[in-house]
Structure 1
């Protein structure tokens, strides 16, 4: 019979935070394993030393490298892979011999814990058992002490190793936050907190629950003094002026807003362009630097750089009018708001949805201004040459807001008029037939040799541009990342791949 592999959480440092179950298993263990730093005593063993039986076999699993350099041919990843192979082999000897193994895990075993890698290796070979432990952030919030989240707050746990802009974005988008993995990442983490407007109220906690523990505001921390055993707590209350303000009733808030009687602010609807920052107009960039709220579909909101005082309101892709009403409500109360859209906001973007919502008499006092952006069809056309250099039409194949019969009729009319056609939203995972039907309808009126340009992710790293024909168009390869330009009878494809449409008509 094989032994059982126990992964036992022993908490962040204070031996009194070890659970009774963990204490029982450690005290009865035949083999006790624990990780240790390159040149350091094992922190895990130190926490549980008083519980380890005198006759237990101890297996020290010493890392070959932590964050330093290594001459391993596989680099850091290769060195750790070999290390875990060795750990697996050493502990498997005991398990195969029928001896239970207890692996000590600081904090909680499955919360950024090294033990999970051995758990992954053993779960299909031996009986496994995981004992949860008090995570470091729970000890940190108790040390402060500060309520981390309350009521319907959202808590986000973030590694400090995230890219600084991404860290800033996520900090701005949450209520409470915990930031792990500090040390050398601290300067970038501090900068991200400042960009997100969350530096005030952010608390640094070092060696929580241990005799050397200390805490202080992040703004006061010396970056050179930050050890590995540290983290940052951003209480949800810090996202608002005070917790008391959050508990006011809707009637009280409405009465307070009415008493202030703010003038409605202008609501901006801004096109961000198809992707690259270089395609964002100076006008749009300047406007985004002035607003205090950005509202939009999540991928577009994420493109707006985070800065102190900016609140971001991201939502899904099919709630355009609700999103517009939300932005109008903010503007009506005097907030500076921008609704953002990819490409040009007026071309299958948010501008129309905003005007639809603004038609409600409740928003009569809110001025709306649209700032143009580079449209996706302009970007694809420019990459190809000049396929829309003459008369052209633009059509969305989506039938979410209009019946397919309408789309079909318009396709026939465009084909009969011999116009260049730009096609947005050609296909999605659940909508595959429309692009097939489009091809059939157009072939009733156009030659199979009609030039077609397929632009995919134009302006992004994954950009591709394909020049094909209407008869040769592979509809199975088309999805929502594509924009099609279907030429008129006069549209030409040159030998070098350039596509253009003459301005004149015979």
Structure 2
């Protein structure tokens, strides 16, 4: 017997007239129509499409066992849902095996925050499957509010309101336009995130878009206790809606040239990653500035709050970035340039002082606030490998010839200094580690201790202790920092350490 055909049909946001002609035809001709529903609730997808059902259609209501995180299931909320999806798939598979065509209705679009995708994961490899797109709820919401969403090169970000509040605020600040889904109980946190991102005044709340009871109003006027699940927020990309964070794709903007009295620029180190490694001095400074300037991933680490404008750019425009920060400070803005680790160790401090040589910035004072450096973090994880004299070098040859790097490697090796290596490799620099290993082996013993720290301070961190001869260059990338021991560096049960003393 030929098996049935499985269809995922988007029925749109609520208005039955927004179902596509193809979707309507498939629903009307289906042997089985399936739809999801909450416990004790009517299926919204069924309500939208019910007038299209054939008189002989078999209806399959797939009732969620739980709609919140509280459940007695031994696998918790994820386990309860996984079991539900498996059982639902088995129910639909029985119809398909019997040769019946099955249409699974999806509110909005089947692959946009919908449950259809979990059935697709379980059934598409076994049965002929087709997906019919539907109008997403946010498109109906923008139409209801008659509010243009994006223009020209604006970037749209779709966000679930279930994101952690600081993360949601950061993403809202870093995009032109946004759609926030999954409100309900999350609304108070979403509202706070909008306020922190400076987007509250231009955020529109839309409830039950395209349905007879639809309504929309500014988010600032919404009663949090009245927010249903079928609601969302639209933040438009209209340039009149205020500033947003810059990205690496944006040109460095011009700033007015008037110099303010007492102009000051802060250059701060954020540490290698964990919030616990951010110094109180830096944390206090960041809470008091109007602008944060830096490489995108570092700017993202600064919590968004009201009044803060973030200027994120790529990793090869350091001096341009420094000039922007100096211009802002000269105009009387409170500005911090941020770097990972310590700003003075292969960070932005040097670039700022380079740009500040311009006489136009003579009245801007520069204050550098130290941070925990990556070499300190890796050394601490290993023990005390830099307990004696040590040197630090970057293997990047973007700003210096490789011949200079190699000459310095030889000098450090001959001096028997512990060596910390930053920027050991990248996508375009794959040979430097192997070359450095060869150069060092000309002067160091093969059993010289080597520490490889990867993503130290982050959840995925790893620390490897090996030797100079056994170091695998292919395993090294930009997430790594290497510490090459001196002759006296030792490995003990307590860790890796280098004596403070040097024997004559």
Q: Look up the match of 1:478.
A: 476
1:234 equivalenced with 2:235 (yes/no): yes
1:439-471: per-residue Cα shift (whole Å, max 9, x none)?
222222223343333333333334444444434
- Report how far residue 4 of structure 1 moved: 2.5
- 5+ residue gaps, structure 1, are 244-249
Distance (Å, rounded) in 2 between the aligned partners of 1:443 and 1:179: 56
Q: Look up the match of 2:419.
A: 421
Distance (Å, rounded) in 2 between the aligned partners of 1:329 and 1:190: 33
Distance (Å, rounded) in 2 between the aligned partners of 1:7 and 1:317: 44
- Report how far residue 361 of structure 1 moved: 5.8
DSSP-derived class of the 1:484 partner: strand
Distance (Å, rounded) in 2 between the aligned partners of 1:401 and 1:194: 41
Matches within 5 A, 1:13-162: 13-162=14-163
Closer, same or farther: CA 64–321 of 1 in aligned 2, 3 Å: same
Closer, same or farther: CA 25–357 of 1 in aligned 2, 3 Å: same
- Report how far residue 430 of structure 1 moved: 4.6
Closer, same or farther: CA 325–222 of 1 in aligned 2, 3 Å: same
- 5+ residue gaps, structure 2, are 245-250
Matches within 5 A, 1:249-268: 257=256, 261=258, 263=260, 265-268=263-266
Distance (Å, rounded) in 2 between the aligned partners of 1:6 and 1:464: 46
CA contact (8 A) 2:384 2:495 kept: no
Closer, same or farther: CA 466–329 of 1 in aligned 2, 3 Å: same
Q: Which runs of 4+ in 1 moved over 6 A?
A: none
Distance (Å, rounded) in 2 between the aligned partners of 1:452 and 1:27: 69
Distance (Å, rounded) in 2 between the aligned partners of 1:147 and 1:275: 38
Q: Look up the match of 1:289.
A: 287
Q: Look up the match of 2:487.
A: 489
Distance (Å, rounded) in 1 between the aligned partners of 2:454 and 2:22: 56
- Report how far residue 293 of structure 1 moved: 1.9
Structure 1 window deviating more from structure 2 (262-271 vs 189-198): it is 262-271
DSSP-derived class of the 1:212 partner: coil
DSSP-derived class of the 2:201 partner: coil
1:62-101: per-residue Cα shift (whole Å, max 9, x none)?
2222225333333322322232223323323333344322
Q: Look up the match of 1:246.
A: none
Closer, same or farther: CA 466–84 of 1 in aligned 2, 3 Å: closer
Q: How much is the aligned-residue C-alpha RMSD, in angstroms?
A: 2.8
Matches within 5 A, 1:3-22: 3-22=4-23
Structure 1 window deviating more from structure 2 (82-91 vs 111-120): it is 82-91
Which residue, 360, 372, 397 being the options, matches 1:399? Answer: 397
Distance (Å, rounded) in 2 between the aligned partners of 1:370 and 1:41: 61
CA contact (8 A) 1:198 1:239 kept: no
- Report how far residue 159 of structure 1 moved: 0.5
- Report how far residue 474 of structure 1 moved: 4.2
Closer, same or farther: CA 391–18 of 1 in aligned 2, 3 Å: same
Distance (Å, rounded) in 2 between the aligned partners of 1:488 and 1:29: 75
Matches within 5 A, 1:197-236: 197-236=198-237
DSSP-derived class of the 1:236 partner: coil
Aligned length: 495
Structure 1 window deviating more from structure 2 (107-116 vs 68-77): it is 68-77
- Report how far residue 136 of structure 1 moved: 1.0
1:169 equivalenced with 2:170 (yes/no): yes
Distance (Å, rounded) in 2 between the aligned partners of 1:214 and 1:384: 59
DSSP-derived class of the 1:422 partner: strand
CA contact (8 A) 2:33 2:60 kept: yes
